Amino acid sequence: MQFTHAAGATPLDAQTVVGQPLDRIDGPLKVSGKARYSYESHETAPRAAYGWVVTAGIAKGRITRMDSCEAERAPGVLLVYTHRNVPRMTPTGRANLVAQLSGPEILQHGQAVAFVVAEGFEQARAAASLLNIEYERTPGRFDLEQALPSAVKPGDDPSAGNDRAADTSVGDFESAFRAAPFQIDARFTTPDQHPAMMEPQATTAQWDGDRLTLHTSHQMANWCAADVAAMVEVPVANVRVIAAYVGGGFGGKLRTYAEAVLSAFAARELRRPVKTALARHQVLNHTTRRAATIQRVRLGAAADGRLTALGHETWTGNLPGRSYYEGASRQSRTLYAAPNRMTAHRVSALDLPEAAAMRAPATATGQLAFEVALDELAEKLRIDPVQLRILNDSQHDPEMGPSRPYSGRKLVQCLREGALRFGWSRRSPLPAQQRDGRWLIGMGVASATHHHSVRRSSAAIRLDGQGRLTVQTSMTDIGTGSYTVLAQIAAEMLGVPMAHITVQLGDTLHPAGAGSIASIGAGSAGSSVYDGCQQLRDLLAQRAGFDPAAVRFEEGRIVGGRQSRTLGELAGPEGFRVLGAVEPGDLAERYAQAAFGAHFCEVGVDIDTGETRVRRMLGVFAAGRILNPKLARSQAIGAMVFGIGAALMEEAVVDKRHGYFVNHDMAEYLIPAHADVPAIEAIHLQDADDLASPIKAKGIGELGTCGSGAAVANAIYNATGVRVRDYPITLDKLLSGLPLRA
């Protein structure tokens, strides 16, 4: 099915199962410990050996000497790989550089330099400490600020129009900005951040002849299969990747890392399974992260608050030769109207661990700057920040004009509903005016947006003679609820009880699913399940002799007029199997497509210490049809917590002398805990969008992160009168500006 026109009326509109707050069908397996993650593949990997990845202790230079003799003689050791004896690898575009022991050159701290395999985990780890490695250091570039003079414009993606262009320009920004009676010219910085998912990267590799099975923690099973097949030089059809349960990803599991590739090599050589997991202290320097940014936001407005000039520039960095960059200015192309506009990106080469996508890549980072600058403008104009956002709403792509309207955009409704529910009218327009004992109290607001798209996806649907359904796709569930919502779609379409539906995910033996990336999973994989179920509806109606346009599916039966047949009876002993698929058409070119929301936050700041506490937070979102309100709320709240972390505490601290992240464990890379978020709520407005996907749903997973940190920052300013533009907003950045205790 190619998605080329509005979805129209569908069986999903009944919403007897879809749209209901059902529990996760995989929940009992997870809470009972029966859901097997990649490192726990005990039954499928008897006699497994254990691997340990040895990572570089310098950021830039080369290995001058590596003595592995003592490690090789250590108890239980089966194999030691270095760049001298590792099998030849074919590099791929998505596999991370650190997966390769390709030579003595060191390009980043945490790069894999050796791999030890032993009978037991402790033996492998102990033997790794016996490797004698000597390095020759060379100067590296570790400071984004110092690297600004060497920044260059990154390449454009010509297939994606202005959405992926490095720079855009509409009208005459510079002239309009100079002429504007009200101006904001503000500089913001955001630090490196890490996905910090619960499950580290882990793999169990096993060969059967020339066929490889990888149980691995990856968000995109088919990508991983292609990466590993190329690197170990076997046909991709010979590599099976299983990622049935993934303990979080947030973008950190889009690459294929050393533990997967080296485990595959070792398992082939040893002719036995090999299990490898990255240790927590390795993850933050070995794997990818969100890159730091320096941003300049310039806004010009007329006295009535309408934007006349909008400019957003971003400087960021990555390893030399990498095409990815944190495109933080892109989100400013879509949110607000302004006749004169400019966005730009520049990238510097840095010798830090590779930068790549992290939850709500670029959008979350950009809104940390832009939504705060807009608040500063509201104060200058003496206009309420909610009203200023409403005033500058646009129902079409602000850069493309009326020829590209939004398929659906309820930003104004989100702002108004949130303001009413949160009690925004009680906010003092003047900062540092409200107190609760020693706490300075303030409220902040920010808009949210995240792009939406449908991507190619497929799913097999099988109906057996007992009337049971099986849904199969390589789509992964990284904790978001994919198992449950795909079952709900099938149940709604075919009237089969949820208890009679089995969903099998994360296996490349199944049809290729969309994968877990960019909030596309439910909309894309769900549309392929919808298509397959529609095919089954037509087949069953035909076999029953009923008019397909006049049948009902309920309680495991097809009903036509006064007659009904069970689905199992019609399927017969052989059953039915269909392949559902979706491919994007040109709707994304004809219509701007995004989900929207509004964040409201109240904070307290201790007048003596500068300690900030989020007291309550509300997110209101319009993100197409909500397939399961319970799961959607959970995702939104989790995403909002991401924003709180970005505003207040998350920072991968760079040692600018030696080029590594100092706080490389979960004790020192700080993220919000339960005590940091006492009261947080998320609601979704009715917003079924028939131009967004065949099932009228949009992506929701990343939307809650976009803008939530800015709402916290704006609340801190309202509480204290201190504007901090250097994230995270820690108490040392507030102390000197706090008002004196009365």
CA 324 from centroid of its chain's CA atoms: 15
| Residue 739 contacts residue 440 (beta carbons within 8 Å) | yes
Q: How many residues does the chain have?
A: 742
Backbone angles phi, psi at 697, to 5 degrees: -105, 155
Nearest Cα to 730, choosing from 742, 712, 718?
Answer: 712
CA atoms lying within 13 Å on the CB side of residue 134: 3
Backbone angles phi, psi at 436, to 5 degrees: -135, 90
Please report which residue ranges of 578-685 form alpha helices under DSSP H: 587-590, 629-648
| Residue 396 contacts residue 592 (beta carbons within 8 Å) | yes
Please, what is the Cα angle at 482 between 480 and 484, to 5 degrees?
Answer: 110
The C-alpha atoms of residue 223 and residue 93 are separated, in whole angstroms, by: 10
The C-alpha atoms of residue 219 and residue 80 are separated, in whole angstroms, by: 29
Residue spans of beta strands (DSSP E) within 11-153 = 49-55, 61-67, 77-81, 105-106, 112-118, 132-137
Q: 């060379």: which residue's tokens?
A: 138
| Residue 377 contacts residue 310 (beta carbons within 8 Å) | no
Starting at the edge strand found earlier in the chain, the sheet holding 202-208 runs: 77-81, 112-118, 49-55, 274-277, 202-208, 211-216, 239-242
The C-alpha atoms of residue 679 and residue 316 are separated, in whole angstroms, by: 34
The burial class, CB within 10 Å (0-12 / 13-18 / 19+), for 741 is: exposed
| Residue 208 contacts residue 237 (beta carbons within 8 Å) | no
Nearest Cα to 188, choosing from 300, 295, 283, 303?
Answer: 295
Which active-site residues does the annotation give?
702
